[in-house]
Copies of this chain bind each other. A is one copy, B any other.
């Protein structure tokens, strides 16, 4: 297979039609095999070659701004005539400034350290065998996403930087934008000597392709869904390929009796209100009955326009607090709504979190080190925090660079997943003729 062919957009019409007559399963298999072949070539590129190819892709994306913006305008026009909500239109819309940010993000990924080849550990056995564990790419990553066209570039860049081929399947609302962005990226990568099929976009919008990707065990090594809860739930329910994702971010902040009042107030307000729509936003506040300043924590939230839903004891703090239903404790609002419970001590807080946490990010505010350490140890979440805002749950804030997502599963990678999470390892063993006794 010649992996240096032009990207899909340039295929002759006859071949395009033949493609479209394929079953979704056959299409995914063909794309996956092409991706796997390209990945083998990609794995032979050096760190510097991969970085140069990404810089070239970023430049190609900038050069393609007129085409990408025109394609995006067609998507927007179609979306408007289909009556999409203004929130969806906003996610879909690109302008020069946003497109510059997308290209900048690709160029920034080029500057991140290449995880491939990093040594995890090494040892020399008594018989002289030298063992090393080295990071290697996972292989072919499938990305299934919705209407944000920037994911096309972000996910492609992260997968490419870590030596993985990627198969992108974006939402139908963004089909024109995604094709234009993909074509530009591949033009840039190929110009720098990278294999075109390292970054593939599924060329048809048939929804059955998603199902075929989810069941392509052995062909696709990992699926990362990027989008709303219904997409993630569908992917988790149907996938036979391993999935890296989080379904919910029901993040808790527990104000311990020994919390500093000013810190409790400021961190709580930030955790809820800085940006309400991100997965690290606090959704439930647990107030210790022994904390003397509970009202002072709640008032600024209400004053800032947050709807607060509380249990009976929380409601007693302020007449503006609405009653919480049982469902509130398991709800990720992603907006300016907060559930608040008053709890009797650390054990009750740990118990509430164990029952309702989505294992994403949970925090305690306390000046009591013993309580802090117990919280850190016993809360079973990907990220546990002391005296900090849950809004820090982010690969960039963790110093990892851009992230492909946040994972709340237990295997492979947990919390913010960046380049390292897109690698696995191999054992290299060097001997001098050793045989096993």
Binding site for B on A (CB under 8 A): 40, 43-44, 123, 125, 129, 131, 136, 138-139, 221-222, 242, 260, 262-263, 266-267, 269-271, 274, 354, 372, 376, 378, 380-389, 391-392, 397-399, 410-412, 414-416, 424-436
* Residue from A274, A388, A392, A399 with most neighbouring chain B CB atoms (10 Å): A388
B131 and A411 contact, CB distance less than 8 A: no
Give every chain B residue within 8 A of A411 (Cβ-Cβ). 138, 221-222, 242, 411-412, 424
Q: Is the CB of A426 within 8 A of B385?
A: no
Instruction: Known A376-B428, A414-B425, A414-B426; judge A267-B435 contact (CB<8 A).
Output: yes
Q: Please, which residue of chain B has its CB at the minimum distance from the CB of A365?
A: B433
CB A126 to nearest CB in B, in angstroms, measures 9
Q: A125-B397, A397-B125 are in contact. Are A429 and B385 (CB under 8 A)?
A: yes
Q: How far is the CA of A435 from the CA of B386 in the complex (A)?
A: 12
Contact A433 B387 (CB under 8 A): yes
Q: Are A435 and B389 in contact (CB under 8 A)?
A: yes
A251 to chain B, nearest CB (A): 12
* Given known A221-B410, A392-B129, contact A384–B434 (CB-CB < 8 A): no
Closest residue on chain B to residue A409 by CB atoms = B242
Once A139-B410, A221-B410, A399-B131 are accepted as A-B contacts, the answer to whether A270 and B427 lie under 8 Å apart by CB is no
Q: A410 near B263 (CB under 8 angstroms)?
A: no
A392 touches which of B136, B391, B436 (Cβ 8 Å): B436
Instruction: Check B131–A430 contact: CB distance below 8 A.
Output: no
Contact call A267/B433, Cβ cutoff below 8 A: yes
B387 near A432: Cβ-Cβ < 8 Å: yes
Give the residue of B271, B383, B392, B434 whose beta carbon is less than 8 angstroms from that of A389: B434
Structural contact, B433 and A266, CB atoms closer than 8 A: yes
Identify A414's interface contact among B242, B415, B424, B436, CB under 8 A. B424
Among A221, A429, A430, A434, residue most surrounded by chain B Cβ atoms (within 10 Å)? A429
Interface centre among A376, A378, A384, A426 (most CB of B within 10 A): A426
Which residue of chain B lies nearest to A386 when distances are taken between CB atoms in the complex?
B430
17 new A-B contacts, CB < 8 A, other than A125-B399, A263-B433, are A43-B378, A129-B397, A221-B410, A260-B433, A266-B435, A267-B435, A270-B435, A384-B429, A385-B431, A386-B428, A387-B434, A388-B429, A388-B433, A389-B434, A389-B435, A389-B436, A392-B436
Q: Note all chain B residues with C-beta closer than 8 A to A43.
A: 378
Residues from chain B with Cβ under 8 Å of A386 in the complex: 428-431
User: Given A260-B433, A429-B384 in contact, is the A410-B424 Cβ separation under 8 Å?
Assistant: yes
Query: What's the Cα separation between A270 and B436 when bound, in Å?
Result: 7
Contacts A397-B436, A436-B270 given; does A430 touch B387 at CB 8 Å: yes
Q: Cβ of B426 and Cβ of A381 under 8 Å apart?
A: yes
Q: Do the beta carbons of A391 and B242 come within 8 Å of each other?
A: no
The 27 listed contacts between A and B (C-beta, < 8 Å) are A44-B378, A125-B398, A129-B392, A129-B397, A131-B398, A138-B411, A267-B433, A270-B436, A274-B436, A376-B430, A382-B426, A383-B429, A384-B426, A384-B428, A384-B429, A385-B431, A386-B428, A388-B429, A388-B433, A388-B434, A388-B435, A392-B431, A392-B434, A412-B412, A414-B426, A415-B427, A416-B427
CA distance A388 to B416 in the complex (A): 39
Of all chain B residues, the one with the shortest Cβ separation from A425 is: B414
The answer to whether B436 and A387 touch across the interface, beta carbons within 8 angstroms, is no
- Nearest B-chain residue to A434, judged by Cβ: B388
Known: A410-B221, A424-B411. A388 touches B263 (CB 8 A): no
A435 to B138 alpha-carbon distance, docked (Å): 35
Chain B residues near A123 (CB, 8 Å)?
399
A435 surroundings in chain B (CB, below 8 A): 266-267, 269-271, 274, 388-389, 391
Residues on B with C-beta less than 8 A from A131 are 398-399
